[in-house]
Every structure is written in structure tokens, then in C-alpha cells.
Structure 1
Amino acid sequence: MATLQLKDIHKSYYLGKEEFPVLKGIDLDFNLGEFVSILGESGGGKSTLMNIIGGLDREFQGEVQLKGKPIDHRNEKSLDRFRRETIGYIYQAYNLVNHLTVLDNVLISLDMTTLTKEQRVDRANHLLERVGLAEQAKKYPNQLSGGQKQRVAIARALASDPQIIIADEPTGALDSQNTAEVLDILNDIAKEGRLVITVTHSQAVADAGTRIVQLVDGKIDSDTSIRQPYPVTGDAERLTARKLPARVSYQTAFKHFKFTFGQNFLIMLGTAIGLFAVILFSGLGNGLSGYINEQITNVANPQVVSVSRHTRSTSNANKQQTQAESQRAAMGMGTTTAKPKTFSQTQISQIRQLKHVTKVEKSYSLTDVKIKHGKKSVTTSTASNWTSSATTSSIKVGHKPQAGEIVLDKTAVAKQLNKKDWKSLIGKTVTVSYSTANANNRPTKVTFKAKVAGIAESSTGAMSITAVNTNTLVKALNKANVSTKPAALAVSIDKLGSVNGVVKQINKLKNDGTKLYAATSITSLISTVQTYVHLASSILAAIAAISLIVSALMIIVTMYMSVSARTKEIGILRALGESKADIRRLFISESLIIGVLSAVLATVIALGLGALANTMLSKIASYAFIQITLGNIITTFVIAIVIALIAAYLPARHAASLNPIDALSAD
């Protein structure tokens, strides 16, 4: 039984509806040990026949059998396996992959065998030694002569241990010496028990084999045996083929990436700029949110809710209040502000009994408070009693006020009383006084003495922190016959997560359908501020996204250019047995390499510039305004990978869809 059989092979090309027959009923048998030359003029159908034998051409009529079994040319995966396991190609134009070394060009076929890495390298080096190129293994194809390139192609063809070697004009570009050497190698290959089929228009080349098949005008004109085939001793154990492992595609992609690093670096840099902007703006958003959070929580405890009585303000009410104030001034009684609604003990108890509430404190707000020490005095716009809503972190010197004590604001009070040595006020006694209305709603002055327990400063400097011990203030109010019913309460919550729930509970309390209280928490303020910060960050990120879109387009263009420039390489890889999926993976891998390295570059730039910016901004405030988190970096890598995958999809799909025959004929 013949090793390879061609039965009634017909092949035509079409231009519109016009048919141009190329092969017109070819019947041929081939056996191992033969060196068969298919001889004919250009355009006679030799190359077409070679493509059919090698499993590259699927559009023909007839049947190709291997050891009596038909090869299914309609099944592309079956043809890929046929080329991996059975066929080795040698081309007139060498068809080496330029960005791979001589050794790597040979390893392409060996990567589709079950040999270990060490075995593959050993076999590749052995084959290069056999063709006289052992010392050229690390060179690239463009550093070799034509004869050397053809020997590399022969070594590659033999690498996977195929039974059939197809040589397309193997000596067409060689001088007489290299021609003779290549023909000797092909005879040696046939002696090993392989089938060698060479396509040529040279009679001298054809005479070097064991058999000549003359092809004229798409038909066999003669089939002549010029000497006996080489003896075949039996089925030798051959290498086992396998599908190309994914890691090989990644490695090949990285080798091409390194080979064209200059071009790829520019793409990476453009992509990295967009990714850098995303990281930096995200880090800036984190920093601003954290800074605002810190500043607010330094001033007030986020687990304390401020509660006041609910009031409805109307324009008529405001007019009536203004008229009343005018009448009091005309009568020489002075002006007073309208008394705010206060809390009764029952109402305080009602709030204290709510779930998650741990403590309810009365909160007093004082205005235009005069503080005197020695001969110096200062008037501060606001003061209050010390409650759980205040934070000890605002106290720069001393401690929070105990009975008979007060905390002074550093800028608004302490420095005004003693500019050079304001810390010396700690332990000193000051006189505190302010005007208000007594229980009879008549003007009165509240005056008391207090020892300075501490000096506080707002981290933002935007508000004054002067607070007196609550019991001390209440005693002074009682002495001046001023009501101690509070207009506000400081309600402590057991945990931060319960704050918003308690605020909602308080705001829902009603009496006969009328809302009783208005509760606010610093967490809602923080949430509002963070919403604005996130909005600003999102706008900045959207601007960065434009850069990312441009980067994606750059990668797409680069990949399409790469496909166009590497069309022949695609044909070579397909001829060696790589599948469409392997080709897709190759180009997607290269795009992913660009994407991931762009993200690495962007991260390094962002961390470096972020640290530099924080150093410069530390002169304004000792806070890291740019805080790049691990989540920001992971998000950036995800974005980079998504961009790379999207950018590579169409070019990779186009590369995989190329016809291997057309790809091999590309310049």
C-alpha cells in the first residue's frame, strides 16, 4: 500500500464566473524512501499540487489518502494535525521568522511535540549541527547567507520528525555549490525512510532524485523512475505531535515584543499616560476624601448626633420678629434674638430611650463671649460647653475641661491674650462673660471664672474651639437666672454604623403629625463632601478615559500593522501545524504584554510623581493628598488588560482568518 495517494485531483480558479482549470485529474502514488521530483514549467500547477499534498489547500475535488485512509480536507483541525504530525516544508524563499534566532526557528516545530524542553533544545542543536550551522544558532536570519537560511529551513522541516518532506524549489535561490549540498541533504533524508517530494522546474534538480513526475498543463505527462527508492527497514519510532501549548504563544509574542521594543515602547508610553492619569486622579480623590474626613472628625466626633427642635420658618414670621425687635429698641429695652425652641426633660428621655443611643448631653451655644486675663481681654464670636461631640485631638496643649475649667482656642483667644507665650495660659484663671436673656426674657450678663485646662486648635483653622465644662456653665446660668433648658442635644451612638439609622429614627418622631426634632450628623456631612470629591474624581477620570481611548486605538493600529507586516509569518506557522486559535493567541498575547507593561510603567510613574507631589504639598499641610491604594493599582491593571483585549480582538481574528497559501505568498 502506498504511503500517500492522490486520486483524481481537480483544481480550478475562478475569475467571476469564468473557470481556469489548473489540475485536471491527477492520480499519483508515493512511498517512503522515494525522492520524487515534480517537474514542470511555471504556471503548470506544481505549487497548487504541493499545497494540496501538504494540507494547505482545501478547495479541490478528488481525494488524498495517507496509508489508505482519506484525509478530510473539509476539517481544518484535522488538517492542522496532519501538518503537525506528517509534513515538513522547505521553501525556495526559506520562510524563516525574522524576529526569532536560528535556534528558535527550529524549535517552532519542536514545540509541537511531547519532548521536554531539554530534549527539544538538544534535538534542535543536533539538527543544526547536521546541516553545518551549529555555530550560527544564536544569530538571526538576516545575519545568514542564502545557503545558510535554506539549511535552517531544512533543519526546521526535520525537527518534528515528519514522514513527508515537501520542498518547493529548494535550490531556486542558491548557487551551484549550495545546490549540490542541499540535494545531498535531501537524498540523505530519503535514505532515512522518509518521502521527499520536491517541486522544481530544473531538470538538474529533478535528476538528483529517485523519480521524476512531469507535469504539463495540469496533467501528468510522464512518471519516470530513474533509480530504486531507498530501502525502508520498517516503521521507526517517531516523535509524538501535540497541539501548541499556550505558553509557547506567550513566549513567541514576548520575543517579537523585544525584537520591536523601540516601536512598542512608544505605544506603551502613550497607553501609560492615560493609565497614569487614572491612578493619579483616583489617588487624589482618596487623599482629598481622607483629608476632609480627618479634618471634620478632628473637630467633631462622628458618633455623636446633633439634635435641635424642628422649626418651620416663614417670611411672615420673620417680618413679625423684625417688627417686635424694632418696638423693643424704640422703648429702650434693647434687642434680643428670638428664643429658640428648647428641650423638656421628657423629650430628652424620649431620645435617650432610642435604640443604639448611649448618652444624651445638653448642648449650649454662646455668642460674643468676652474672655479676660489680667488686663487683656478678647471677644470670640462663638463658644460652647464641652460635650462628647468634641474631640480631644483638637487639644494641642493640656486636656479637656473638668469642673471649673475651660479650653481656649489657640488663634482666636490664647494668642490674643498672650501672643509670645500662649502656652503659659495653662492653669491660669480667666473671666468669661457674655450677654443673653434671662428667664424673664430681659437682657442679662452671665459671668464666671474658669481655669484654663487646655488650648485647642481646629486642624482647618476655619472655626474657633472654645469650650467650658458643662456643669461650670450650668452653675453660671443658674446664678444669672438664665434658663438651662438646652436648644440642642449631643446624642452619642454606640457604633458608627448605627449613626444614620438613629438620625432617621429621630427625624421620624412626631406628635399629632408634627415633626418634633431635626437631627444631623457629621457622617452625612462627610458623605456629602465625599460625593462632591468622587464627582470631581469621576470627571477627571473621564478626561483620562479619552486618553485611554486614544491608547486603545494606538494598540489596534499597531496590531493591524503587525498582522500586515507578519503575514508571511502567519502562513509559516499555519504550514507548520499551528491552528487559528494559536494565531489568535499569539497576537492577543503580544497586545496583553503591551497592556500589562503599560500598567506597570503607569504605576511606577504615578507612585513616583505622587510621592513627589506629596512632598511638595507637605509645606501646605502635613498630609498625603495623593493616596494610591492597591485597589487603584489593581483597577488600572484590569483597565489595561481590558483595553489590550479589546484592541487585539479584531486584528487577532483577522490574522487567524488569513488563508495560509495567501499568507505564504505575501511579500
Structure 2
Amino acid sequence: MTEILQLKNVVKFYQLADGERFEALRSISASFEAGELVSIVGESGSGKSTLMNLIGGLDSDFSGEILYRGENIHDYSPKQLADYHKKSIGFIFQNFNLIPHLNLIDNVALAMTLSNVDKATRDQKAKELLTKVGLKDHVYKKPDQISGGQKQRVAIARALINDPDVIIADEPTGALDAQTTDTVLDLIKDIAQSGKLVLMVTHSDRVASHCTRILRIDDGRLISDEQLGTLNVEKEVKKETAKPKNMSLLNAVRLAFLNMKAKLGRNALVAFGTSIGIMAVVLMLALGRGVTTYIKDTMNSYANPNVTEVHRQSMVPDQKQQKDLSSGDPAELSKIQQNNMAALTGKGTDNDFTAKDLKKLSAIKGVDKVEKGYSTLSLGTNSVTYKKQNATIMTLQTMSSNITKSSIVDGKAPKKGEILLDKGTADLLDEDLVGKKVNVTLTLGDKKVEETFTVSGTYEQQGSNFSTAIMSYSELNRLFTANGLQLKPNVVYLYTKNKDNTEKIKDKVKELGFSGSMQETMTAMFTQMLDVVSYVLAAIAAVSLVVSAIMILVVLNISVVERTKEIGVLKALGARRRDIRRIFVSEAFLIGLSSGLLGVAVTFVLQLLVNRFTIATFEVPVVSLTLSYALIGIGLSIVISMIAGFLPADRASKLDPVEALRKE
């Protein structure tokens, strides 16, 4: 027969706490062939289990040589050692070491799962082996639903799943009654007759008598090697040339999911606790966006979406000016204040558009029409009088496409000899002022002008509470000319037929060095302030995520302790450190994913409830949950969970398989 395994002067020491060394194995030498059923007999503490751990590759800290098909396993790399566990060695444990939350098929197929064999193939092979050991009717049961003898049969089937050369059985009948022992021994004998080397650790001479060869160990020494007979081997062992694959991420996630399912109550509470923090963060972001959107929509509703209002310079300080204002330089401060006041009052040549400016603006792609305009703010110098009622006009501006027909609540746009008043001012003078003549006093340059106009209509205020009078640009130009003055436009309106072009036009206007309307500037300022507040509130809410991370860390650490023996089994079956890490990190990922989804779902429900209340009370929805915020919440939950899960996962991956298998 083919020699499979050879031991040459194998020595194993353990370092004791007092600094001394204990010699567990002393120069063990032996060789083994395919088709042998070998029992290794000895009292507790004799070194037989230590020898099996070395042969099985669970412990590589030894001197001497253990040659598997001529290669010393002591020199194996971690990858080669994992492949050795997957394809060359099968373990049958005394206490079965089945994974309780997996059914029998998954328990048997675990080694194939670690080798990334497809599910259909591994399930078929597992069913065949379970049928072979007499468990055809129990394949979907969990380990706690079958007897001890049946559990050992499952363990035998698991050891055979990848068709290894060597089967190591550690006290396989130690937990069984006499009748079940005989059944299990017959199965093990059949395994040896199929051409495999079976090494069986036992302290029972009765069990050893079923073997073809007995090695006796005492005090770490091989004291006898007795040949009892041979088996009729059915076939020679044929090894596949293909190297085993590694476990895929998908299989790691599946194993993590099955464990989470087994601890559903605990994991659900952890997910719920984490989801509260995620919900708070997402809700704050959604609330900030909702309020910001409301402000933008309110401001934009007063303007024509097809029109872009353009000024030579901003009517409120920009970011650079705000920085200069805070610098404390009196001259610079005065200059900025004068420029801004000139912009507001319509005075100063710096605010007038030149022919060159108008040409630049008309050349912007998407602009279909350029309208000249004029706007000025006065402080008590302009007024309108009807009969004995007088009202101060603070804003005088020209008619443009920016004032939509829907804004004019009564009457029509002004033409020659007409003026349009805001509804508040008109109502102050008379309840029905449309079509009636009023006396208007205006300050144009240094001249005070008085003239009679017909009120063409009234309109709703465009985002301000200033009393406003509007006339056509040509009519205002007539007044300037009649008084020896020249009207120069200090505001321009860019009209586009396609409102989808408006944002691009506004961007181009800023690129050319011009400014938008006051309402745009104010909206931007409010939006920035609300964004800052929203992010600050979200950051405060995110503090709760630290508590969630600690909770996940604790739960996964508990899981590592609870599953220590399972980790030992996985390593014995060929799991790499990376595979163990993947399983536990995948569990953290699933906790994070479920927490994120739950947090977003709760936020969505709260959005419906809060918006129902605010719409009924203020006619405004204030919470706006977007897909991006939902994805941010879910992503944040996953990242925090995986960071928290890395330390327990790394700890699990570093567990010594021998110590892990001893864990009770």
C-alpha cells in the first residue's frame, strides 16, 4: 500500500508558567499507509491527543518531521496548512462539535463551503453521505433534534465530505453506549477499507481491538507498535490535482446570517438600539432640507422661473466683503458700506450697466431676451397720494418679465401714464384703487418730480414688505428725459424660453462677475445658515452612534466567546484567519445593514406623521427625506458596525484551534 504519513523524531514541548518546559512527546517515529485502521492508545496525559493535533496540523510548534506524502507539514505556509485541512485531513471529535444553528446538511457540507464549492454540489454530496451513514430522513434537522449516536454519524459524514486521505478520530466512541459504539466502529472500519488511513485515539482496549494496528503511548513515548492484521482495501486513494478554493465573501455572509438568525432576539435589540442613532441623524438632515426647500420654494415662487435678475454688484456683502468688514479697517468698512448703500438706492455709476455689459449678457447661451430695468430704494422721499391719503413709496422699480401675471391680483401691467402698486399700499389708500388717478412724488437724481398716474393694478409683494411702485421702463425714461436726466439701467432681466436653462444662466452670470437678485443672495445666506444648523444637530445626534458601536463591540465579543469551539472546528476544517474574520465582520455588516434600514424606515414613518401635522397647521411639509440621506444613514450604520466588529473578528481569527476545541 502507499505510504501516506511518516513521523520522524517528533518532539513537543510546552512552556510552563514557572519557566520550565514539559516534554509532551519524546522522539516519536512511525509510518502509516493507506487502508490502515490504527488505534493510538494511552492514559490521559500520555500525549496521544497532542500527537493527533500535530498530525492534523492544528499545532505546528514541534521539532522533528511529520511527512505527508513526502512533505513536512511543519514547513507549510498558512495557506498550505489551510489546504491540508480542507483536502487531506478529516476530523471526528469525541463531543461531535456540530454547529448548533446549522442543519445536518450544512454541518456536513461545512468543509465544502470553506472550499467555495457551489451550494447544489455540496448539498448533493452531503445528502449522499448522510444517507450512507443512515440519516437520510434527518437531513434538515438541527443537531439538538437527534441522538448522540446520530450526531457522531454526522461528524463522520462531515469528515468524509472532501474525500481526505487521513481521518483522525479523537475518542469517537467516548460519549456513546456499547451498541452505538459498535455501529460507529463498523462505519469507521468501512472508511479504512475504502483506502483511507484512519488514526483513532482511544483509551479503551475494547475499541482498539477493532483496529488493524495498535500504537501505545506512555509519558510521551511510543512504547509499542503492534500489528493485528490487515483490511481488504477496496481501492487505492486517488487524489485530485485541483487545489481547493477559498471561501467566498457570499458564503461568509450566509454563515453570519444563519448565526444571527439563531440569536435573533439579541441581534434585533442591538439593531434597534443602533437604528435610534441612525434615525436621529437622518431625521436632522431631512428636517434641515425640508425647511431649506420651503424657504427656497417660497422665495422662488415670487419670481418668474424663466427670468434671471442681474446686478452689477451684490446688494448685500459677499463672503469677501464680510471678511473685510470683520477686519476692522475703518476706511475699508466705510467704502463697503457706501457701495452697498449705492446698490440699494440705485445711485452711483458703479451700479449702471454699460452697452458692453449688456452685450456680454445677451451672448450667454440660452438667453432669448435682455430687458433693461431700474430699481431704487428711497427713505421717505418718494410717495403716492390719493385724495387725502398718503403712503410712502420705499421701492421704485420698472416692469419686467420677472413679475408674472399670477402676481398681479387685480388689474394689469402698467403702460404709458400708469403705475402698479403693491396690494398693501393700494389698500392703505383705498379699498378699490385700480383705474383711479393718484399723485406720485419721486426724487430723480437731485430733482423732485410730481406727476399724476393711473393705477393699472395691484400685485402681491415679491418676498419683501417694502411699499413698492412699478412703472414701465419707457415711462420712467420719459420722466428722466423730461427733467434733463439720463436713465441708465442698474438691473437687467435675462429671459429664456426654456426654464431648464435658468440655473446655467445664473452660473454664467456669476462667472462673468455680476450678481443675482437680493432674494437669491438672502436665500443663499439662509440656506447656508440652515445647513450649518442641520449638520450641527446631526453631529450631536451622531454621538449616540458611539454608544451603538460599543454595544455592537460587546455583543460580538460575547459571540466570539460563545462560538469559541465553533471557531476551532472551522479552523480544523480549513478556515483561514481571513475566513474567520470575514464571518464575524459579515455579522457586523448585517447588524449595521438591518440597523440602517430600520432607522431609515422609522425616519420615513416620522416624516409622514410630522408632515401631516405641519401641513394641517402651517400648510408646509418640514421633513424631506431623500434617497441620498437614506443611503447616507444606511452607509453610516454599516461603517460604524463594521469598525466596531473588526476587533472581535480579529480576536476570533487569532484563536488557537487546539485551545478553542477544548473550550466547554
Q: Which residue of 2 aligns with 1:3?
A: 4
Q: Which residue of 2 aligns with 1:332?
A: none
Q: Which residue of 2 aligns with 1:304?
A: 309
Q: Contact (CA 8 Å) 2:112, 2:162: kept in 1 or not?
A: yes
Q: Which residue of 2 aligns with 1:587?
A: 584
Aligned counterpart for 2:453 among listed residues 443, 448, 451: 448
Structure 2 distance, partners of 1:133, 1:378, is 102
Q: Which residue of 2 aligns with 1:397?
A: 409
Counterpart of 2:130 in structure 1: which amino acid? Answer: L
- Which deviates further from its counterpart, 344-353 or 278-287? 344-353
Q: 1:503 to 1:433 in 2, by over 3 A?
A: farther
Structure 2 distance, partners of 1:387, 1:568, is 83
Aligned counterpart for 1:605 among listed residues 602, 621, 627: 602
Structure 2 distance, partners of 1:173, 1:141, is 15
For residues 38-437 of structure 1, what are the structure 2 equivalents within 5 Å? 38-113=40-115, 116-236=118-238, 241-300=244-303, 303-306=308-311, 342=347, 348-349=353-354, 352-353=357-358, 355-356=360-361, 358-365=370-377, 369-370=383-384, 372=386, 379=391, 382-388=394-400, 390-392=402-404, 395=407, 397=409, 401-404=413-416, 405-411=418-424, 413-414=426-427, 417-418=430-431, 428-436=434-442
Counterpart of 1:3 in structure 2: which amino acid? Answer: I
Q: 1:414 to 1:14 in 2, by over 3 A?
A: same
Q: 1:601 to 1:174 in 2, by over 3 A?
A: same
Q: Name the SS for the 1:618 alignment partner.
A: helix
Q: TM-score, normalised by structure 1?
A: 0.84
C-alpha distance after superposition, 1:576-606 (max 9, x if no partner): 0111111111111111111122221122222
Structure 1 distance, partners of 2:193, 2:314, is 106
Structure 1 distance, partners of 2:264, 2:650, is 23
Q: Which residue of 2 aligns with 1:516?
A: none
CA RMSD of aligned residues (A): 3.4
C-alpha distance after superposition, 1:287-311 (max 9, x if no partner): 2222222222334568323458999
Structure 1 distance, partners of 2:8, 2:404, is 96
Q: Contact (CA 8 Å) 2:352, 2:490: kept in 1 or not?
A: no
Structure 1 distance, partners of 2:657, 2:36, is 27
How many residues matched?
Answer: 617
Structure 2 distance, partners of 1:106, 1:394, is 75
Counterpart of 1:432 in structure 2: which amino acid? Answer: V
Offset at residue 534 of structure 1 (A): 1.2
Structure 1 distance, partners of 2:57, 2:217, is 20
Q: Contact (CA 8 Å) 1:113, 1:239: kept in 2 or not?
A: no
Counterpart of 1:95 in structure 2: which amino acid? Answer: N
C-alpha distance after superposition, 1:67-107 (max 9, x if no partner): 23322445222111111111111111111111111111011
Counterpart of 1:264 in structure 2: which amino acid? Answer: N
Q: Give the unaligned 5+ runs of structure 1.
A: 317-338, 507-518
Q: Which residue of 2 aligns with 1:326?
A: none
Offset at residue 377 of structure 1 (A): 5.9
Q: 1:140 to 1:465 in 2, by over 3 A?
A: farther
Counterpart of 2:413 in structure 1: which amino acid? Answer: P
Q: Which residue of 2 aligns with 1:498?
A: 508
Q: Contact (CA 8 Å) 2:5, 2:31: kept in 1 or not?
A: yes
Structure 1 distance, partners of 2:159, 2:350, is 98
Q: Which residue of 2 aligns with 1:570?
A: 567
Structure 2 distance, partners of 1:362, 1:544, is 48
For residues 499-648 of structure 1, what are the structure 2 equivalents within 5 Å? 499-503=509-513, 521-648=518-645
Q: 1:19 to 1:85 in 2, by over 3 A?
A: same
Offset at residue 361 of structure 1 (A): 1.7
Structure 2 distance, partners of 1:220, 1:496, is 91
Q: Contact (CA 8 Å) 2:437, 2:454: kept in 1 or not?
A: yes
Counterpart of 1:355 in structure 2: which amino acid? Answer: K
Q: Name the SS for the 1:429 alignment partner.
A: coil
- Which deviates further from its counterpart, 604-613 or 559-568? 604-613
C-alpha distance after superposition, 1:511-564 (max 9, x if no partner): xxxxxxxx9754333322221111101101111220222222222222211111
Q: 1:341 to 1:263 in 2, by over 3 A?
A: closer
Structure 2 distance, partners of 1:440, 1:282, is 52
Structure 2 distance, partners of 1:293, 1:42, is 81
Q: Contact (CA 8 Å) 2:88, 2:165: kept in 1 or not?
A: yes
Structure 1 distance, partners of 2:265, 2:157, is 31
Q: Which residue of 2 aligns with 1:467?
A: 470
Q: 1:346 to 1:565 in 2, by over 3 A?
A: closer
Q: Contact (CA 8 Å) 1:106, 1:152: kept in 2 or not?
A: yes
C-alpha distance after superposition, 1:228-274 (max 9, x if no partner): 23325323466964322332111111111111111111111122222
Q: 1:114 to 1:560 in 2, by over 3 A?
A: closer
Offset at residue 40 of structure 1 (A): 0.4
Counterpart of 1:218 in structure 2: which amino acid? Answer: G
Offset at residue 385 of structure 1 (A): 3.0
Q: Give the unaligned 5+ runs of structure 2.
A: 317-324, 332-343, 363-369, 496-504
Counterpart of 2:31 in structure 1: which amino acid? Answer: D
Offset at residue 461 of structure 1 (A): 7.3
Q: Contact (CA 8 Å) 1:432, 1:447: kept in 2 or not?
A: yes
Q: Contact (CA 8 Å) 1:307, 1:488: kept in 2 or not?
A: no
Counterpart of 1:619 in structure 2: which amino acid? Answer: A
Q: 1:35 to 1:440 in 2, by over 3 A?
A: closer
Q: 1:155 to 1:415 in 2, by over 3 A?
A: farther
Counterpart of 1:491 in structure 2: which amino acid? Answer: V
Q: Name the SS for the 1:610 alignment partner.
A: helix
Q: Name the SS for the 1:21 alignment partner.
A: strand
Q: Which residue of 1 aligns with 2:500?
A: none
Structure 2 distance, partners of 1:376, 1:174, is 114
Q: Contact (CA 8 Å) 1:281, 1:540: kept in 2 or not?
A: yes
Q: 1:626 to 1:233 in 2, by over 3 A?
A: same
Q: Name the SS for the 2:374 alignment partner.
A: strand
Q: 1:129 to 1:434 in 2, by over 3 A?
A: same
Q: 1:346 to 1:455 in 2, by over 3 A?
A: closer
Q: Name the SS for the 2:301 alignment partner.
A: helix
Q: Contact (CA 8 Å) 1:343, 1:487: kept in 2 or not?
A: no
Structure 1 distance, partners of 2:194, 2:625, is 65
Offset at residue 57 of structure 1 (A): 0.7
Q: TM-score, normalised by structure 2?
A: 0.84
Structure 2 distance, partners of 1:340, 1:597, is 59
Counterpart of 1:605 in structure 2: which amino acid? Answer: V
Q: Name the SS for the 1:27 alignment partner.
A: strand
Q: 1:599 to 1:362 in 2, by over 3 A?
A: same
Q: Name the SS for the 2:80 alignment partner.
A: helix
Counterpart of 1:659 in structure 2: which amino acid? Answer: D
Q: Contact (CA 8 Å) 2:116, 2:246: kept in 1 or not?
A: no
Q: Which residue of 2 aligns with 1:37?
A: 39
